[in-house]
Every structure is written in C-alpha cells, then in structure tokens.
Amino acid sequence: MHNHDHQLDEMYRDIILDHYRSPRGRKDVADPTVVNEGMNPSCGDEIEMKVRLKGDTVEELGVHCAGCAISVASGSMLSEIAEGRTISELKVIAAAVKGMLTTGEVPEEIELDELSDIEVLEGVRQFPVRIKCALLAWVTLVEGLERYEKGGSGENASTTEDANPTVIV
C-alpha cells in the first residue's frame, strides 16, 4: 500500500485517475461542424476536438488529448456531458468550470455536482500551475464554438508566418 499524500490526492482523485487511464470520448467524429486544436504553450501539450452540431445542439463530440493526467481527465469529462447540450449551455458550464478553478465562484444556476464527475476537478485549484491543464479542453471547445458562431469555418486558422531566416537543420 502506498502512503499517499493528502494534498496530492485532492488533485489526483481516483475518478480523475480513472478518466486518465481510460479516457472517454476518444473517437473520431464524422462530418464535424467544428474542429479545433488547443495547446498549452508552457508545457507543449496539445488537444484536438471535433464536434458535429445539429442546429444549436452538440450531436457528437470527440476529443484526443496528449497531455497530463489532469488535462486528459478534464477532456474526458467534458466529452461525457457535451452531447445533447446546446452551445449556450456548454458556454455556461465552461464558465462555471473556470470559476470553480480560479476565483472559486460558480454561478448559482449551475449545479456542477449534477454534471457527471466535473466537480472533482476542484482539487486542482490548490495547484495554480496546473489550472491551465484542467482548462485546456474547455477553452478549446469554447474557442471552436465561438468561431463557428461568428460564421467562421470552425476550422482553426493556421498561424500566419512572416519572413524567417533560411535554416539548415
């Protein structure tokens, strides 16, 4: 038996480790309406998300996250509650998750404990450097949805590149 550290276990709750070991929503989505890639520059970890909308509602969502346990678990949890919800519902939930992880304040109308396992992410709040991990999937989703709403293709515009020096590697 390990003698686990209390604070550490507050972050790495069993549910989180379970999502990490067996991430849900790791599937491909046919005919996606929204495709977005996210990245945490400070660690280099990446996430890819595909969403097929039917009207305002998420019909199917797939997520592939190559990151730490927190980011993988968070993406996995997101995938569990996304399907069947509307864009605006999801934006409200994303804001609530952000509130829970940063200020600790969650809008009253949101009952995170009714949202699958999401509430267990709260333990991350005590580890400020890791908050970005828990937010990665949510930021990537909202960014993709908002681009779609603004009439964009929903596809991530590749970053523009200006003249760089010739390089021999």
Partner 1 sequence: MQEAVNQQQVLDSAEIRKDFPILERSVQGKPLVYLDNAATTQKPRSVIDAEAEYYLKHNANVHRGIHTLAEEATEAYECTRDRIASWIGGVAREEVIFTRGTTEAINLVAHSWGGANIGKGDRIVLTQMEHHANLVPWIQLAKKNGAELAYLPIDGEGRLDLSSMDSIITPNTKLVAITQMSNVLGTINPAAEVAARAHSVGAVVLADGAQSAPHMPVDVKVLGVDFFAFSGHKMLGPTGVGALWGRRELLEAMEPWQTGGEMILLVKWDRATWAELPHKFEAGTPNIAGVAAWSKAFDYLDRFGMDAVRSHEVEWTRYTMNRLLGLGFVNIFGPKDVEERGSAISFEVEGVHPHDLAQFLDSRGVAVRAGHHCAQPLTKLLGQTSTTRASGYLYNTTAESDRLAEALLEAKKYFG
**From 5-13, 25-33, 101-109, 142-150, span contacting partner 1 (CB under 8 A):** 5-13
Is 68 a binding residue for partner 1 by CB under 8 A? The answer is yes
Distances (CA, A) of 61 to 29, 36, 89, 145: 7, 11, 15, 12
**From 24-32, 64-72, 94-102, 134-142, span contacting partner 1 (CB under 8 A):** 64-72
Is 130 a binding residue for partner 1 by CB under 8 A? The answer is yes
7 binds, among ligand FES, partner 1, none (CB under 5 to 8 A by kind): partner 1
* CB burial readout 1-37, b (16+ within 10 A) else e: eeeeeeeeeebbbebbeebbeebbbeeebeebbbbbe
Q: List, in order, residues 6 or more apart from 135 with CB less than 8 Å away.
A: 74, 97, 98, 101
Quick one: which of 61, 70, 94, 101 contacts partner 1 (CB under 8 A)? 70
**Most distant CA atoms of the chain, gap in Å:** 57
Is 133 a binding residue for ligand FES by CB under 6 A? The answer is yes
Which CB, 43 or 115, lies closer to partner 1?
43
Q: What secondary structure letter does DSSP report for 4?
A: -
Which CB, 45 or 119, lies closer to partner 1?
45
Which spans of this chain sit near ligand FES (rule: CB under 6 A)?
40, 43, 45, 67-68, 70-71, 133, 136
Give me the residues that bind partner 1 (CB under 8 A), please. Answer: 2, 4-5, 7-8, 11-12, 17, 20, 41-46, 66-70, 127-130, 133, 161, 163-169
